[in-house]
Amino acid sequence: MTKLSYLHEPGVLHNLAMRYELNEIYTYTGNILIAINPFQRLPHLYDTHMMEQYKGAGFGELSPHVFAVADVAYRAMINEGKSNSILVSGESGAGKTETTKMLMRYLAYLGGRSGVEGRTVEQQVLESNPVLEAFGNAKTVRNNNSSRFGKFVELQFDKNGRISGAAVRTYLLERSRVCQISNPERNYHCFYLLCAAPPEVREKFKLGDPKSFHYLNQSSCYALDGVDDAQEYLATIRAMDVVGISEEEQEAIFSVVAAILHLGNIDFSKGAEVDSSVIKDEKSRFHLNTTAELLQCDVKSLENALIKRVMVTPEEIITRALDPVAAVGSRDALAKTIYSRLFDWLVDKINISIGQDPNSKQLIGVLDIYGFESFKLNSFEQFCINFTNEKLQQHFNQHVFKMEQEEYTKEEINWSYIEFVDNQDVLDLIEKKPGGIIALLDEAWYKKLYAVSVISYSTLLLLVDFIFTASRSMFPRSTHETFAQKLFQTFKNNKRFIKPKLSRTSFTISHYAGEVTYLADLFLDKNKDYVVAEHQDLLTASKCSFVASLFPPPAEESSKSSKFSSIGSRFKLQLQSLMETLNSTEPHYIRCVKPNNVLKPAIFENANIIQQLRCGGVLEAIRISCAGYPTRRTFYEFIHRFGVLAPEILEGNHDDKVACQMILDKMGLKGYQIGKTKVFLRAGQMAELDARRAEVLGNAARTIQRLIRTYIARKEFMALRKSAIMLQSHWRGLLACKLYEQLRREAAALKIQKNFRRHIARESYLTVRLAAITLQTGLRAMTARNEFRFKKQTKAAIIVQAALRCHLAYSYYKSLQKAALTTQCGWRGRVARRELRKLKMAARETGALKEAKDKLEKRVEELTWRLQLEKRLRTDLEEEKAQELAKLQDALHAMQVQVEEANARVIKEQEAARKAIEEAPPVIKETPVIVQDTEKVNSLAAEVESLKASLLSERKAAEEARNACTDAEARSAELQKKLEDSERKVDQLQESMQRLEEKLANSESEIQVLRQQALAISPTGKSLTTRQRTMIIPRTPENGNVTNGETKVSPDTTLAISNVREPESEEKPQKSLNEKQQENQDILIKCISENLGFSGSKPIAACVIYKCLLQWRSFEVERTTIFDRIIQTIASSIEIQDNNDVLAYWLSNSSTLLLLLQRTLKANGAGSLTPQRRRATSASLFGRMSQGLRASPQSGGLSFLNGRGLSRLDDLRQVEAKYPALLFKQQLTAFVEKIYGTIRDNLKKEISPLLGLCIQAPRTSRASLVKGRSQANAAAQQALIAHWQSIVKSLNRYLDIMKANHVPPFLVRKVFTQIFSFINVQLFNSLLLRRECCSFSNGEYVKAGLAELEQWCYGATEEYAGPAWEELKHIRQAVGFLVIHQKPKKTLNEITKELCPVLSIQQLYRISTMYWDDKYGTHSVSSDVIANMRVMMTEDSNNAVSSSFLLDDDSRLVCSVF
């Protein structure tokens, strides 16, 4: 608020009203935070996202908030090692308690640490609030939950900045409220909560309606709107459990509270003796007995303590009776003393439960204390409260003046002493010794005590000595009138003390916030702070240990000093201790303001708020600022705003400070100061500069209008000139056409003549040419016949020679082939035996696979057992429910039967009695007969009464049965709900079972492969021998080639194999790879280690690997090392994650090879899978990949497969894969995902620093502010989009890399889609969190940058960019909203449906309230639209809709695109 142009009361009030209308409830006045109570929930202001934004942020960098004050205090404590305090003040209902809770939450977020039994220290402090509110809060005229005591919470921190302990200190509990309340206020909440407790609790404490108790029925208000006392009672019980109060202590606490209520209902009447009193009636006697029972003390002793006093003299002990008025005073004094001791015990218990850290050197204190109070009738409590606020106001004024002085000293400017209101004279009037109001009050109270009390002789001497020391004058008997007269005589010349004209017992004090008139009638009584000896002895002797602990026997020395202490003196000492604590810390101030007295939202009462600002000292702080230099601007801000007043200064190369000085001198301002980094202006000078600036901008606008009108006139002239020129052009064209027609006719005649002459010459030439060709043909035919005859003879001789030579060579070759086959068979037998030994060793390793299978089977059995258990539990619940309903129905039926039988018996007894009376003989003279009939009638009547009583009891039992039935139905509903939850869990377990079955199917296929391998190793596996023998035959032109999956072997070769050691080769398996294949593997690994490049957009390395593996049948063998070597080669190639060329190269090869494997390999035993398992397999990663690629070959990047032998994806031959091949496919999948994520994250890291610079326009150079310099403006515009161009360059570089390496387009699209989503989230979140970004000029800057990205998407084409541009929809719509004109004319429907359909109401509200036009000075949307947004936000918060307005980044891996 110190940045306002007019810093006075109307300006401050207008600023607060405008911010309150926008739900901006927090405002800074320097370093002071003003918090206006919104009277509604604003959850978006206090969520975790907001805490994260304010954590570590500079003060004033973000919008004003209570979190910012807490963060400043915490950072100052950590960095400077000094304790801090936060003073929260304001009148009742201003929101002090809620503000304190928010401070505690944020401090717990910064320095929270786990405490005892899983509860943190800060949680224990917050959980103690319900207990303190129940026993220390009450309804007042201004607030339904007003704290009637002051609270100072100390959070202790260790050296690491973590919370290590805490303590709660209270001040000045309003004890008189226990006995006296006014309409429409209430007593303390705990009394009403106990009266609303469950029936068994009320019956235990003999409580009833609150209207029946004297301490509660003095007011007509017994309940609060929207508050259920029964629920609050249960909440208080839970809070006591959390704090650590045991059940026995809770029972004792509520027993004491109930005893106070019964104690207030004890009335007295005059006794037989003079000035004596007795218990009034039986009702009062009942309450006396109940009080004694609850306090567990003697009834007679309690009665004597209330109506008698004991005087001890050296000679004897004298007992004196009290009159009824004095007895009532004794009763009320006992009630207040008990309640005060109970509240102190609760505070001590809470502090013990929380625990304090004795080694802590740093703390942050939060002071939640009552504000300045001025009512129609003000008593001793208001006097103490206002005395506290006077002390705090003096501390506040001194601190504000100190901050102002530090600001001037830091900027090194010349300044003089600033006068500010010092309220030291008011404090001297109240607390000065001797002669202050509190001192005179203590003196008068001691004299009253001397006149009316019965004390011992020694105590009387001490008291008289004290009285004569304090004052030379002595009253015969002090009363409120004599006390008031003493004040009038003592302070008649004091300007702060005023004597009312029409009252003898009232006096007025002129406080800093205004004059307050106090009624001195009850000052003497409320100042008492001693316990009557009879009361002390009574409660000390209580049989209840809790009550006795509240009144421990005082020591002799302490009893003499504490017996005659006063509330005023004790409160002054507490306040002095509090001020010492605050002076030892660095203070921070929060002033809570209540906008209206009806406690409703959206109501802003100016008079009420301006009075609270005066009482809180805010206006005094503003006055101190105005007395100095209230307006401060940094050099850059000043030049940026007022540089238009002196453009010639901006053209020169001047320093910022010199430029500011020259601008101010040109404007002719006086009295300003230039600091080190800021310009300090006097009050009103900023308004004068703004007026000058508006005048310059107006002249510039008129100049622009003049130039525009000139441009329009010239445009019309140019249009007329263009029309005339067009007419002339058409006429000249017509003349040119006529001339062209004449010239064309002449050219046609010349062309006809030329062609005719050419025809005659060609006819002559063709005749000569035909004759020459005929002669040449005859000669050439004769020569050709001679050459053909010679060649035919030569060819016949060559054929004869070739046949002979072939026969000789073939005979020699067959002899060599037989010798070679004999040698090979011997060698292969030796190698096969060696391989057999290795396979036997490998068979032992299958034990581990069997163990894995056993574990999977156990897991399936366990899940099956759990499913059966859930079904059995469900069945048991249904049976239990049915049995319980049957029992209840049987019980109800039995009750009804009993009631009917009882009714029948009553009717029968009545008829029998009637008949007995009618049949009785007439009364004769015999007296015994009359007596006998009378006795019978009486017995029958008694029996009828007993039957009626039994009928009533049966009806009551039936009612209880109905209630039990209702409860049973409720329990049945709960069981039904639990049953539904169980069914839902069963469904989830079934889904889990299905997934496990799918996994089991895959595991079974792998186990089947391993089992076949084990069978092949066994001696009975003869089928493998034949297959291995077929696999190891070399593919040479002599022994056959593989064609269409069949092996063609020459007959000679077959004969040689069968003749040479045939039994041995059939019984032993041969190796899967020979030595030649091992050499081929080495060559393959060496080949793929280098960059083979691409052939027609096909990755050569992937195709080579696939062809080699398929040719060698590596997918069908049980043991091979080629897969591990390929994986190791790929892993070593991508170790350097910064080389994007290498990563893109291997991403292309890996994805291509993965697709080929997916279409080629199939697991052994896949044909036996059920249709359900097959569907699950097709929905896996590779299934989605192949289906997506096959559905769209262009988008899937299948163009690289259109080569030799791979013309179509469906033409690939499938083979049954063994376990190594399946494992190789899984490892290759992991490498594809890893390489993809690495490329995407590298691009994110590269553009992340640039995004922080792209959300806000950089500082425009000073030269660009001068109008009319096109070259400078062009350079500035180029500098503005430099960061965006850097992002575009990065995108182009990555796109070129992936294109060069032929990465599949669908992977490229996914990379850029996620990158654009990341850009959208970063820019949009920064826009919502920084107000300086929500401006018109900044919107234009971001819009220009987004245009660069759009141009890039257009250049990258749909094939590679895809839907990336659509990912920027949030930031595009937000920026479009910022730069649109005439925002006030837009309706909410147009904004949400047309302009910004994607943005939520919270996001639109945030942008609308933070928008400011720094270019044209236009306004945001209308207030009606803002109000509608608030209504919709309130409905969303009530419907539990998430109120967070920030976006989350979606960075899922590549598996989602498959």
Tell me the catalytic residues: 92-93, 97, 143, 146-147, 371, 373
Q: Which token pair is 130? A: 């319900």
Query: By three-state DSSP, how is residue 1072 classified?
Result: coil
| 541 marked among binding-site residues | no
Token pair listed for 547: 């009550």
How far apart are alpha carbons 348 and 648 in whole angstroms?
72
The count of other CB atoms within 10 Å of the CB of residue 336 is 21
Enter the DSSP assignment of 1046: E
> Which tokens in the block code for residue 318?
């004298």
| 163 secondary structure, DSSP code | E
CA–CA gap between residue 251 and residue 248 (Å, rounded): 5
Confirm whether residue 826 is marked as ligand binding: no
Cα–Cα dist 1307/1103, whole Å: 19
Q: Is 95 annotated for ligand binding?
A: yes
User: Is there a contact between 380 and 417 (Cβ–Cβ < 8 Å)?
Assistant: no
Q: Confirm or deny that 292 is annotated as ligand binding.
A: no
Q: In residues, how long is the chain?
A: 1458
Could you give the CA distance from residue 1250 to residue 1258 in angstroms, rounded to a whole number? 12
Which residues, including other chains, have CB under 8 Å from residue 842's CB and lie 6 or more apart?
1017, 1119
* DSSP structural state of residue 23: T
Q: Tell me how far apart the alpha carbons of residues 924 and 848 are, in angstroms, rounded to a whole number.
A: 116
The structure tokens listed for 381 are: 């409590």
Determine contact, residues 686/694, Cβ cutoff 8 Å: no
Are the CB atoms for 674 and 655 separated by under 8 Å? no
**Is 91 annotated among the ligand-binding residues?**
yes
The whole-angstrom separation of Cα 232 and Cα 238 is: 10
Instruction: For residue 1154, give the nearest of 1058, 1222, 1078 by alpha carbon.
Output: 1222
- Return the C-alpha torsion angle 1210, 1212, 1216, 1221, nearest 10: -110
Rounded to 5°, angle at Cα 1071 from 1070 and 1074? 125
Q: What is the widest separation between alpha-carbon atoms in the chain? A: 191
Enumerate residues 6+ apart whose C-beta is below 8 A from 1039: 1033, 1049, 1050, 1053
Q: Using alpha carbons, select from 1187, 1083, 1160 the residue that is nearest to residue 1125.
A: 1083
Structure tokens at 1307: 């992977």
In this structure, the number of other CB atoms found within 10 A of the CB of residue 433 comes to 11
96 is in an annotated binding site: yes
298-313 CB burial, b ≥16 within 10 A, e <16:
eeebbbbbbbbbeeee
Q: For residue 1033, how many other CB atoms are within 10 A of its CB?
A: 15
Q: Which of 553, 562, 150, 120 is nearest to 368 (CA)?
A: 150
Q: Which helix (H) or strand (E) holds 1162?
A: strand 1161-1163
Bridge partners (DSSP) listed for residue 1217: 1163
**Distances 652 to 633, 646, 664, 903, 1266 between C-alpha atoms, Å:** 22, 11, 16, 113, 11
**Residue showing tokens 């064209």:** 733
Residues paired with 86 in a beta bridge: 366, 588
Contact status, residue 487 vs residue 437, Cβ threshold 8 Å: yes
Contacts of residue 1072, Cβ cutoff 8 Å, sequence gap at least 6: 1028, 1031, 1032, 1113, 1117, 1118, 1119, 1120
| Residue 54, amino acid | Y
Give the span between the Cα atoms of 900 and 894, in whole angstroms: 10
Other Cβ atoms closer than 10 A to 863: 16
Annotated binding-site residues read: 90-97
Binding-site residues for ATP, in ranges, read 90-97
